[in-house]
Structure 1
Amino acid sequence: MGVIVAPETRDLDGLAVQLAAWLSRRIPGSDDVRVENLAYPHGAGRSHETILFDARWSIDGRPQTQSCVVRIKPMRHTVFPDDLFEQQYRVMQVMHEQGRVRVARPLWFEHDASLLGAPFFVMERVRGRVAVSVPPYAKEGWVAEATPAQRARMWENGVRQLAAVQSTPLDSVQFLRGPKGAEEGLAQEWDKYVRFVAWVSRDRPWPVLEKGLERLRANWPSNQPPGLVWGDARLGNMMFDDNFEVVAVMDWEQPSLGGALHDLAWWLVLSETMHGAASGRPLEGMGTREETIALWRELTGISAADVEWYEDFTHLKMSCTGVRLAQLGKMPFPDEAWLTKRLKVGGAA
């Protein structure tokens, strides 16, 4: 059994009553609405309060059931400087309607913060298994116990869904445009993390992060293909069935129009960290970095030139998130000497 890593938790019995009353208003003609089996997922869901539940009701005497997930907007324990809560729901709507990327079916969005203390949305619960971070999936659990052939199937299916994100027509997600001067492309992602560095540096300077930005800016990539950014592209944000097929791609909380290579780079870095040599236990069957890039290029038709720069940018992004989680008391502050090495800035930070 994993551990609950939600940013905060609440009384689930009380939540069941609140959700039942809310659903009775949301579902036309419904009677005797009940909400049962509430639970927090284990080992995942660090940035948003996410709760599983079953809803039961009747319409004209006919019983109805729906397994659901409610995702509640973080109000106090915010990991990211940008509020994209409604945008993540809208991205999932687009993904579900287009059918290229497998996502849970979005059901309802609630703007009224008075109901649960924050806006929230409900989506259909998809049944499957998740490669959790706590405990690390490379060390124990169903991924570690799978055969090399099963892991190879999981890796390939994961990369195929990663690539499918880039088949999303950008005109269908124009609601993701950024601020003036950074509406889309690399400029949008760059602006986001320049502001992120400033945000986490308000109470304590982090010159190593500033140096990381300077190094990246001095080595600006020439290859900047357009594309949708999922934002947290990793195996642990996919759900798999018993045949190691992807049944859901999850956690769209930081999407943008920033370009195709950000997700590929994020996937590569997290693969190395979680199940590559950096994990201490490389998993046989998982594709190598080179194999992942080759399959992604074949599927998307997009050049992966300069992906190394995007991997370095990923390290900067993850460092910002690590500092912020430490500020929230969720993990120790990163060692600045370690950050200096990670961000390749050299010298004393």
Structure 2
Amino acid sequence: MAAFDDGDLPGLRLAPFRAFFERARPGAVAGPLRAQLVPGGRSNLTYEVTDGRSSWIVRRPPLGHVLATAHDMAREHRVMTALAGTGVPVPATYALCEDPDVIGAPFYVMEKVEGVPYRNAAELRPLGAEQVARIAGRMVDTLVDLHGVDPAGIGLAGFGRPEGFLARQVRRWKRQLDASYTRDLPEADELHALLEAGLPAESPPAIVHGDYRLDNLLVGDGGRIAAVLDWEMATLGDPLTDLALLLVYMRRRTPVPGEGDAMRAPGFPSAEEVAARYAERSGRDLSALGFYVALACFKLAVISEGIHYRFLQGQTVGKGFESVGAAVEPLLRDGIAALKDQA
């Protein structure tokens, strides 16, 4: 991780941030602020800010081109605030700023939770196969716990529109792709048409995370899940979209945003074992899983193309963006194959 910087960072101006945070949390800041960019993200920007005594995490949208409805800071803040006190571990939320004039974009401030966002097999291997299996199992169980939360019971009854969720997802990601095209992608049109024609009956609705994977979790002592992070795409809808996206991350042979090779660590279950554990613990029907996998491939392809667009425009911060565009066409092909295999 880079060292803390006494000055401003791209996307974060410390003086106006301090003024806002001191109004929102009087007495919280005790000294001069320093900040560092937290590496690893390919979408929203995440910073750690400290006064030398306390530390906080600040989240804001990426610089430059931002897709419509994406990178919603108020959405992330709302769902984490609502989930506090449930069985789903989330950081405490401290403040939300929806005024883009403060640091250049809306942002929110949350607790810094101690834990490791495991991404690579090399990071997991020293833990041993038994502990890796335990972590992976808890990853699945936490997803089941999330999908078992009653949205109305925690004030999220109006957080989304579950009816017609899958059809809207297909339309939404096509619109997002149309806004970020950098080249001809005929397989995108083919996959989109197949998804439109193959909509299944939806699974009973739940809170959907939208980007659930191991490195969006912080793993604490003893392999417990200390926090679930990155809620920017959370909504109410069909929870099997979360499971399918997790499975696509696990099965990938080519890079996708944020993906590592953690699933190759000894002890990590297969995608089939993960799906079976989810089905057993949730009681949900996975007979149409091929559609959900195809939709997840389409979604990741669109996200990758959006990141590739920002990279070409010089609007990304950090390293690792130059290879993201190479993931798009393999993802589209995998999505087509998932639907044809199910047919």
Sort the TM-score into its range (normalised by shorter chain): 0.7 to 0.9
- Counterpart Cα distance in 2 of 1:304 and 1:35: 53
Deviations 1:75-122 (A, max 9, x none): 5242665353211110111111x4221011111001222221111100
Question: Which residue type is aligned with residue 322 of structure 2?
Answer: M
* 1:89 match: 77
Q: Could you tell me which of 264, 276, 285 is aligned with 1:282?
A: 264
Q: Could you tell me which of 39, 48, 73 is aligned with 2:61?
A: 73
Q: Could you tell me which of 303, 308, 318 is aligned with 1:321?
A: 303
Verify the 8 A CA contact 1:235 1:271 in the aligned structure 2. no
Alignment of 1:302-321 (within 5 A): 302-321=284-303
Distance 1:125 1:336, change over 3 A: closer
* 2:43 match: 47
- Counterpart Cα distance in 2 of 1:153 and 1:101: 17
Q: Could you tell me which of 195, 204, 216 is aligned with 1:216?
A: 195
Verify the 8 A CA contact 2:95 2:110 in the aligned structure 1. yes
- Counterpart Cα distance in 2 of 1:270 and 1:33: 42
Offset at residue 279 of structure 1 (A): 5.0
Verify the 8 A CA contact 2:191 2:335 in the aligned structure 1. yes
Partner SS state of residue 207, structure 2: coil
- Counterpart Cα distance in 1 of 2:225 and 2:234: 20
Q: CA RMSD in A?
A: 3.1
Verify the 8 A CA contact 1:144 1:283 in the aligned structure 2. yes
Offset at residue 341 of structure 1 (A): 2.9
For structure 2, list consecutive stretches of 5 or more residues without a partner in the other structure.
255-259, 312-320, 339-343
TM-score (normalised: structure 1): 0.80
Deviations 1:205-236 (A, max 9, x none): 43211110112223322353322220101001
Question: Which residue type is aligned with residue 31 of structure 2?
Answer: R
Which has the larger Rg?
1
Deviations 1:121-165 (A, max 9, x none): 000110111113xxxx12x3x213321011011101111111111
Verify the 8 A CA contact 2:124 2:262 in the aligned structure 1. no
* 2:214 match: 235
* 2:114 match: 127
Partner SS state of residue 334, structure 1: helix
* 1:177 match: 160
- Counterpart Cα distance in 2 of 1:287 and 1:264: 14
Verify the 8 A CA contact 1:208 1:345 in the aligned structure 2. no
Alignment of 1:5-44 (within 5 A): 10-11=8-9, 15-28=13-26, 30=27, 33-42=30-39, 44=40
- Counterpart Cα distance in 2 of 1:95 and 1:103: 7
* 2:133 match: 152
- Counterpart Cα distance in 2 of 1:344 and 1:69: 39
Q: Could you tell me which of 293, 303, 308 is aligned with 2:275?
A: 293
Verify the 8 A CA contact 1:24 1:33 in the aligned structure 2. no
Q: How many pairs does the alignment contain?
A: 317
Q: Does 1:343 align with 2:335?
A: yes
Offset at residue 55 of structure 1 (A): 4.0
TM-score (normalised: structure 2): 0.81
Runs of 4+ in 1 over 4 A off after TM superposition: 278-281
Offset at residue 301 of structure 1 (A): 2.4
* 2:315 match: none
Identical pairs, percent: 23
Distance 1:70 1:22, change over 3 A: same
